[in-house]
Amino acid sequence: MRFATPLPLQSGVEMHDYTLVYETYGTLNAARSNAVLVCHALNASHHVAGSYDENDPKSVGWWDNMVGPGKALDTDRFFVIGINNLGSCFGSTGPMHANPATGKPYGAAFPVVTVEDWVHAQARLADALGIAQFAAVMGGSLGGMQALAWSTMYPARLRHCIVIASTAKLSAQNIAFNDVARQAILTDPDYHGGDFYAHGVVPKNGLRVARMVGHITYLSDDDMAEKFGRELRTGKYQFDFGIDFEIESYLRYQGDKFSEYFDANTYLLITKALDYFDPAREFDGDLTKALANSQAQFLLASFTTDWRFAPACSQKIVQALVNNKRRVCYAEIDAPHGHDAFLLDDTRYMNVVRAYYERVWLETMETMEAGAL
């Protein structure tokens, strides 16, 4: 969907003439009360569920284990919307698109966007779709930050807020890992100051290293030990700098794959949005005050082995909500897969979300009946 009205961004810049791509699943009811917005994290998109091509496993939506008919977020009940965020590289306006001011790709001139900017853009799309209030806004990791931001930026526009494996702010260590990734990209000669499109190249080496660093932080130490340990590819040391260990093979493969489809400028933008998110910042670091005007009910979930956004990060949000007397469910799920667990098919995790959506559904039905009376 194309938006002609400029979007004022937190940086002070205005975004002119932009497009947001989105996907929907299920049917919006007559009361327009069963819509759920699913916000994506770093490298995902509007393609949340379903498959474009049954023969291509890569075309399956990134949260297809969570969203679909009969699934935890049941598209037989809810009208689910996935939106690709501004600055991303999966269809919505991003750094690879033409800057209307110059006619050339934005490149590094694409404005730095924040979680709050994305939420404003999502709200405009909701307006255009005629959705005044979401049954729920939901996301994991960076997606969870967007859900949390919705709860205070548009408190009346969501009845439930579901924040999974997320945090109210990045730690110094989180920022440090992001900055290493950015430096790998920015100093790759093929980055060309962000204008690599014009040079017909891609800063593949930088993106590859960025992804390798990121990937380490998504997995738990234990899970890596379990899956790879010190397994050697050929059973013996090679005494060179090729591949000795299986973990090297795996990580390099992940880095290679990522560098083939992901945009380097998008990577910079999205890590910056992560770093900047800090709703308590305007309240002298007081998260309770920052969340005071939220009205939604909340579900928070974290995973025991997630060392990127550890359970303590979710607990701080829960505490701030409880301080505000909000209704909050919190699940700390014992799962071995680190931060990545939020994308995986863990029975306990899925059951928690499923049970929560049962309640959201019952309330949605009641609202409809009340409205019908």
Give the residues lining the site for a second copy (CB under 8 A). 10-13, 108, 111-112, 169-173, 175-177, 179-180, 182-184, 186-189, 205, 208-209, 212-213, 216, 219, 221, 224-225, 227-230, 237, 239-241, 244-245, 247-248, 251-252, 255, 268, 272, 275-276, 278, 281
Looking at the Cβ atoms of 23 and 116, the one nearer to a second copy is 116
Q: Phi-psi region for residue 266, left (φ > 0), alpha (ψ -120 to 50) or beta?
A: alpha
Min CB(197)–a second copy separation in Å = 17
Q: Which of 141, 151, 166, 302 is catalytic?
A: 141
Phi, psi of 106 (to 5 degrees): -55, -50
Rounded to a whole number of angstroms, the minimum distance from the CB of residue 267 to a second copy is 11
Least distance to a second copy from the beta carbon of 242, Å? Answer: 10
Distance from CA of residue 104 to its chain's centroid?
A: 28
Q: Between residues 154 and 177, which has the closer beta carbon with respect to a second copy?
A: 177
CB of 262 to a second copy, least distance (A): 17
Catalytic residue at 306? yes
Catalytic residue (one of 74, 244, 263, 306) = 306
Q: Which of residues 27 and 183 has its CB atom nearest to a second copy in the complex? A: 183
Q: Which residues contact 347 (CB under 8 A, 6 or more apart)?
A: none
Tokens linked to 168: 């109210």
Instruction: Select from 107, 124, 116, 146 the least CA-distant residue to 18.
Output: 124
Q: Least Å distance between CB 51 and a second copy?
A: 31
Q: Which of 46, 47, 120, 339 is catalytic?
A: 339
Q: Please report which helix (H) or strand (E) contains residue 115, including its range.
A: helix 115-128
Q: Tokens 């397994």 — which residue?
A: 231
- Residue among 107 and 140 whose Cβ is closer to a second copy: 107
CB 18 within 8 A of CB 145: no
Measured from the CB atom, the residue of 80 and 113 that comes closer to a second copy is 113
Token pair for residue 42? 């770093």
Residue 339 annotated to the active site: yes
Exposed, middle or buried: residue 5 (CB in 10 Å: 0-12, 13-18, 19+)?
exposed
Tokens 């489809």 identify what position?
A: 261
Find the length of the chain. Answer: 373
Burial bucket for residue 240 (CB in 10 Å: 0-12, 13-18, 19+): exposed
Q: Which residues are catalytic?
A: 141, 306, 339
